[in-house]
Amino acid sequence: MSEFSLWDIVYNLLLAGRWTVLLSLTAFVLGGIVGLLLLMVRTAGNPWVVRFVRGYVELFQGTPLLMQLFIVFFGLPLIGLDVSPWVAATFGLTLFTSAFLTEIWRGCVESVGKGQWEASASLGMNFTQQMRYIVLPQALRIAIPPTVGFSVQVVKGTAVASIIGFVELTKAGTMITNATYAPFTVYGCVAVMYFLICYPLSLFARHLEGKFRNVAR
């Protein structure tokens, strides 16, 4: 511990925290894109596509994120695809995020009344136009609070990536603990940093939820 001051510990954790934030943003953005595509094809109503998307969502919601990362990191090399911890973590978290966002957004789309669909259809709009001009703008207002709230789960989920060797905040905390033999100090700092990342997102989600509830009234 004498070789590491408190500032050294905090500084190194801050460096690792950049990767936690970057991984969270990357997984959330890519997961959002995949989730939106899955939502569109599921809402289109093809029975086989609906079954596929439902199975996809249930698979990733019903299995631990840790197992998903293990399969990606250790399974892909078995078919000749060697991936780095960064690629494996990004890919695994993207699939995980897309499954949850698809389900969140599906509920928001279904909350839009059938009358809106019928009215837009009577105006001669096709499915794409209905979604773009009528349904999605209304669903967006409902979707923002739970979407922002789920981003907190994505941030915390990045900690699991330490198991496959990706050096983010949790992994850096473990490495520093092994060097300093000061687990309480190190993991205390790790917990504070996660809190500083997640708590503002939680407050923002709560603010948006209250704001849109008041608008609905």
d(CA 132, CA 84): 38
Nearest partner of 27 among 82, 101, 83, 77, judged by Cα: 101
What are the start-end ranges of the H helices in the chain?
6-43, 47-61, 65-70, 85-110, 114-122, 127-129, 136-157, 169-180, 183-216
Ranges of the chain whose pLDDT falls below 70: 1-2, 212-217
Tell me which residue has tokens 């949790």.
Answer: 170
**pLDDT given at position 51:** 94
**pLDDT given at position 172:** 96
Residue 72, exposed/middle/buried by CB under 10 A (0-12, 13-18, 19+)?
buried
**pLDDT given at position 1:** 45
- Domains of the chain: residue spans and CATH: 6-212 (1.10.3720.10)
**pLDDT given at position 164:** 94
**pLDDT given at position 217:** 54
Q: Does the global pTM surpass 0.95?
A: no
**pLDDT given at position 187:** 96
Q: What is the pLDDT of residues 143-174, one digit of tens each?
A: 988 999 899 999 999 999 999 999 999 999 99
